[in-house]
Amino acid sequence: MSLPAAHLVGLQLSLSCCWALSCHSTETSADFSLPGDYLLAGLFPLHSDCPGVRHRPTVTLCDRPDSFNGHGYHLFQAMRFGIEEINNSTALLPNVTLGYQLYDVCSESANMYATLNVLSLLGTHHIEIRADPSHYSPAALAVIGPDTTNHAATTAALLSPFLVPLISYEASSVTLGVKRHYPSFLRTIPSDKHQVQTMVLLLQSFGWVWISVVGSDGDYGQLGVQALEEQATQQGICVAFKDIIPFSARPGDERMQGIMHHLARARTTVVVVFSSRQLARVFFESVVLANLTAKVWIASEDWAISRHISNVPGIQGIGTVLGVAIQQRLVPGLKEFEEAYVQADKGAPGPCSRTSECSSNQLCRECRAFTAEQMPTLGAFSMSSAYNAYRAVYAVAHGLHQLLGCASGACSRDRVYPWQLLEQIRKVNFLLHKDTVRFNDNGDPLSGYDIIAWDWSGPKWNFRVIGSSMWPPVHLDINKTKIRWHGKDNQVPKSVCSSDCLEGHQRVISGFYHCCFECVPCEAGSFLNKSDLHSCQPCGKEEWAPAGSETCFPRTVVFLTWHETISWVLLAANTLLLLLVTGTAGLFAWHLHTPVVKSAGGRLCFFMLGSLAGGSCGLYGFFGEPTLPTCLLRQSLLALGFAIFLSCLTIRSFQLVFIFKFSAKVPTFYRAWVQNHGPGLFVVISSMAQLLICLTWLAVWTPLPTREYQVFPELVVLDCTEANSPGFMLAFAYNGLLSVSAFACSYLGKDLPENYNEAKCVTFSLLLNFVSWIAFFTTASVYQGKYLPAVNVLAALSSLSGGFSGYFLPKCYVILCRPDLNSTEHFQASIQEYTRRCGST
């Protein structure tokens, strides 16, 4: 025997025992049953459960004084009314009548007993175990109800092996939609899955991210709190406090005082109450006793528009109440039907015989005793729930309509098994008072919620519809102007642990919850992406951002352009230098055989002028966007050209000093120096040394165009890499050595004849060279911007101009302005004067 079969055998025995012990002495009311061709069962909470202390399992008798449930009464009447409408209709089920067996399920035991009674074979009190349950014919073809998730789970688990359709009007737990466990379960109330999603969207729409959650004991509250916490956390909402209201809770008891204390300490403005009506009443009575005010209370659908809660004394001071409610629908004619029921002659209750099909909870004395003035008020909440029960009845009727082939105008009256009806109910798609009734694959209705706000504008709360929630996917449509907030100036309350940070400030979490944080500005070069508020992201290489920024900006690419003012000045100065060098070369060529040109070095002067011109041409490479050719040539031409000039200047000064001061003392060395072309050899060797340094520099430490990102955060500086390379420093050091040598030789010749004494001018030019490059390197150590090449050009131009001016301009002056000094006689006289002076010393 299979495990389910074994369970059912046990249930059969339980059913028989319960019937033998309880049913024979109870009374029944004719209102709970109606004969018909096809029988439906209805499970409704006409009374509340007061279990007390039990010492053994017993069936709770529901019809007890002071336990009547007006809400369940309206559901009970909605099913009766719906079946009466269908039986009176000639379109839906012509020539076929529906009957019913209604049960008061005030407790778990009453619900279990009613379910077992539904499963019993028609006309018996026994459940028969068959190898093929598809041909099993229970007392009822379908069951409407029950109300709570706990009751529905029990009933669905018992009915599912027989595939008896169970359509609940109020059980909304997500677990009931799992077809693997409850294949025959359907409902006309939306699943809590959508309710939780709606609540999270409601919290997000007002920016409430710091909340408390309270649920009721049982599957409805506990599973709802669990799902809400999971989805809220995924959406960045923090649950600062959560708790469950136990079944045994009473207003103001120690357990409720503890919940109130923790709610006050949590300092959350928004509290979500995912609770059943009964325990929500206990909770809010405790809230009023604890004087918890100025909060926003989010209601689940079970109590959102319940007068049972809104009638709590003093509840008007608790703050603002928003809620998720099932869509408010009307059952046309239900109110009149209830009024007619009150006025009808119901007769006296009859006994429940052992051969009848009644159960121990098919009696409601209060229902029979109502007068027109005393009947329960049919409020919005009860009307909406009654519509769901009414809709469930019509879903079964439409399933039978298809199964019996009633579209032809007459129904077949064939034998119907529950599983056949279940298939048809799943497929129904019809309009009921402009409302489309159909089910999805999980057996859930494709309907929505109303978003309501409690409005205290009179002696009692009014439930104002402020929006709706529809799916798929779940989305809200709220008119926020309809809400009357409890705060000053009707402002939306805030519920946050930490206020939002300023733009460009990241959230640094302090403590356990990510909603509690400190605000720290993003550093320069980073930005705060709104998709991740907890970490600053670095900008791209070509971007920049100031401190505390939410976005990055493109960097400005800068370099020393041709059209800038400083460029024009430097280009003009360099071009002028080239023109002067060219003009000097022409002038010296014209006066090549004059004493001045010969004393200056003769043809060596053209080599010197050419080297200056070459270095000057290299300066044009500092302007415009750097390229590989300009990076290769600009510094190397300057270094090589100036090295050649300094080599010539050094050897020229050395030669004059040697001739006048040492030729007579070391004649052999002098003759060898002259015969072996010592001056020219020195210039070649010195120049070749610099050329070798430059070639090594270009080969090993190749100057390349570079984009400098580190110096200025908002700029990309285009330059060449030569300034930092060892090759550049080696070439510069070599020129420095030549400068010192030239300076030393010139200084030694400070007392030579006047026409050969170049010490003052050369010393000045070399000092200018030293100062220029010291100034350049000092500037380069503190500034790396776009104008650094201009400083480099200025230093180089000063060195070249200083060298040209110190050596060539005095000679040009003599040639052009003092031709009388450019004569052999004058030079001989100068030499004789120098000889006389040396002889006297």
At 652-711, the pLDDT tens digits run 777 767 666 655 566 776 676 666 677 778 888 888 998 999 999 888 888 889 888 888
Alpha-carbon dihedral of residues 29, 32, 34, 35, nearest 10 degrees?
-80
pLDDT at 31: 84
With cut-offs at 50, 70 and 90, classify the pLDDT of residue 104.
very high
Whole-number pLDDT of residue 24: 38
| Backbone Cα Rg of the chain | 52
What CA–CA distance (Å, rounded) separates 285 from 312?
6
CA dihedral 144, 406, 82, 416 (to 10 degrees): -30
Please enumerate in sequence order all residues whose Cβ is within 8 A of that of 595, keeping only pairs 6 or more positions apart, or say none. Answer: 755, 822, 823, 824, 826, 827
Cα 560 to Cα 85, 288, 471, 619, 724: the distances in Å are 93, 77, 62, 12, 19
Look at residue 190 in the predicted model and tell me its pLDDT: 92
How confident is residue 467, by pLDDT bands cut at 50, 70 and 90? very high
CA distance 120 to 114: 10
What pLDDT, in 10s, does the model give residues 33-55? 999 999 999 999 998 875 554 56
Buried b / exposed e along 563-584 (16+ C-beta atoms within 10 A): eeeebeebbebbeebbebbeeb
Burial class (CB in 10 A: 0-12, 13-18, 19+), 462: middle
Token couple for 3: 């495990």
E strands of 757-824, at which residues? Answer: none
Percent of the chain's residues with pLDDT above 90? 42
Q: Report phi then psi at 468, rounded to 5.
A: -150, 160
pLDDT reading at 404 higher than 80? yes
E strands within 73-203? 98-104, 142-144, 166-168, 185-187
Say if CB 449 and CB 419 are below 8 A apart.
Answer: no
H and E: helices and strands count for the chain = 24, 27
- Alpha carbons 821 and 828: distance in angstroms, whole number: 11
Q: What is the pLDDT of residue 137?
A: 87
- Quick check: 170 and 385 in contact, CB under 8 A? yes
Please give the structure tokens belonging to residue 734.
């070599």
CA distance 562 to 575: 14
pTM of the prediction? 0.67
Distance CA 387, CA 456 (A): 27
Residue 34, strand partner residues:
100
CA distances to 182, 651, 683, 763 from 808, in Å: 109, 16, 18, 13
Say how many Å lie between the first and final Cα of the chain, rounded: 142
Nearest to 461 by CA among 484, 480, 479: 484
Q: Which long-range contacts (CB under 8 A, 24 or more apart) does 429-434 make?
A: 430/394, 430/398, 432/391, 432/394, 433/329, 433/330, 433/332
Confirm if 148 and 170 have CB atoms less than 8 A apart.
yes
Compute φ and ψ for 521, nearest 5 degrees. Answer: -65, 145
d(CA 694, CA 644): 13
Q: Is 291 left (phi over 0), alpha (psi -120 to 50) or beta?
A: left
In this predicted structure, what is the pLDDT of residue 328? Answer: 86
Structure tokens at 73: 């009464």
Contact between 104 and 69 under an 8 Å Cβ cutoff? The reply is no
State the pLDDT at residue 355.
42
With vertex at residue 90, the alpha carbon angle to CA 87 and CA 91, rounded to the nearest 5 degrees, is 110
pLDDT in tens, 578-614: 999 999 899 888 888 888 787 777 788 888 899 999 9
Q: pLDDT tens for residues 711-770?
A: 888 888 888 887 678 888 898 899 889 888 888 877 776 655 555 556 667 778 888 888
CA torsion angle for 545, 546, 549, 554 (degrees, to 10)?
-20
Per-residue pLDDT tens over the stretch 638-668: 889 989 988 888 887 777 676 666 555 667 7
Least confident of 57-66, 382-391, 434-443, 806-815: 57-66
**Which tens digits make up the pLDDT trace of 487-535?**
778 889 999 998 888 888 998 988 888 889 999 999 988 999 888 888 8
pLDDT tens readout for residues 506-516: 989 888 888 89
pLDDT at 3 over 80: no
pLDDT at 9: 43
Say whether pLDDT at 266 is over 80.
yes
pLDDT tens by residue, 274-301: 999 889 999 999 999 999 999 999 999 9
